[in-house]
Amino acid sequence: MSSEAATQPSGSRSLHRFANPGRFLRLADAVLPWVAAATILTLGAGIIWALFFTPPDYQQGQTVKIMYVHVPSAWMAMFAYTTVAAASAAALIWRHPVADIAAHAASPIGAGFTFLALATGSLWGKPMWGTWWVWDARLTSVLVLFFLYIGHMAIANAFEDAGRGRRAAAILALVGVINVPIIKFSVDWWHTLHQPASVSQIGAPAIHSSMLWPLLITALGFKLFFVTVLLLRMKSDILAVRIKTLRMMSLGER
């Protein structure tokens, strides 16, 4: 081991182990079948349990079942953006190539979750609030999150130099991460129509266990789905770069 490597913290050495795209591909190939199978099992079990075996709410009736898609989508919208920001930081600070690929691959997935959270929130809000949309602090901050995702993807592809575009997108991701705690605590900081946290309350959650467990299982399925699609997208990006490199080498030899 070199003296430079020996002086690095163990966490940093672990991070750099996976900076090699080939090593990452081998890890992804080993993990993907298991994560994909777990995704199918947990999502299937959670959705079936939520739709067919949970009771209607005493006020909202069957409309409450939108929660089993809306809430995990909202959680994943924030989790995915945090992933983008963390990967962007690793790419900027340590020049970690796989982290850069992860940030680029995670952004469209997070945008999809955010759009799903906004759409299901509107469907849920219409019968509950009498309107599809209000400029509520929680809803507005989630809409800002969606625009941050769109901006991140647009900036990453706006430059002829791909590296320059991704560095600019990484900076946007780090600046925009301040919106994540705003989304989380908006219902506590401002008066809003959106209900406060029901699951993450200190002490007992303000939701019955007959609804809580299928919600948590579905949320786990959404997270596993994110990991599965992220690994697939990262593999696709790495292989696309390899194909492009081989083509350029082939043209250079002619």
**pLDDT for 204:** 57
Residue 201 predicted with pLDDT over 50: yes
Stretch among 15-19, 165-169, 230-234 having the lowest mean pLDDT:
15-19
Determine the pLDDT at residue 193. 64
Give dist(CA 83, CA 99) in Å, integer.
10
Q: For the CA atoms of the chain, what is the radius of gyration?
A: 21
Residue 202, pLDDT > 50, answer: no
Does the structure show a pLDDT above 90 at 2? Answer: no
User: Does residue 7 have a pLDDT over 80?
Assistant: no
**DSSP annotation of 219:** H
Predicted local distance difference test score (pLDDT) of residue 247 = 82
pLDDT number for residue 253: 65
**Structure-model confidence comparison of residues 197 and 235, the more confident one:** 235
Q: What is the mean pLDDT of the chain?
A: 88
Query: Where exactly are the structural domains of the chain?
Result: 61-196+208-248
Angle between helices 97-129 and 137-156 (to 10 degrees): 150
Which of 43-52, 125-134, 243-252 shows the highest mean pLDDT? 43-52
pLDDT of 164 strictly over 50: yes
What is the per-residue pLDDT for 17? 61
% of residues, the chain, pLDDT over 70: 85
Residue 2 CA from chain centroid, whole number: 37
Q: Are 116 and 41 a contacting pair, CB within 8 Å?
A: no
The residue that leads in pLDDT, 20 or 48, is: 48
Give the pLDDT confidence score for residue 47 in this predicted structure. Answer: 96
Question: What is this structure's pTM?
Answer: 0.88
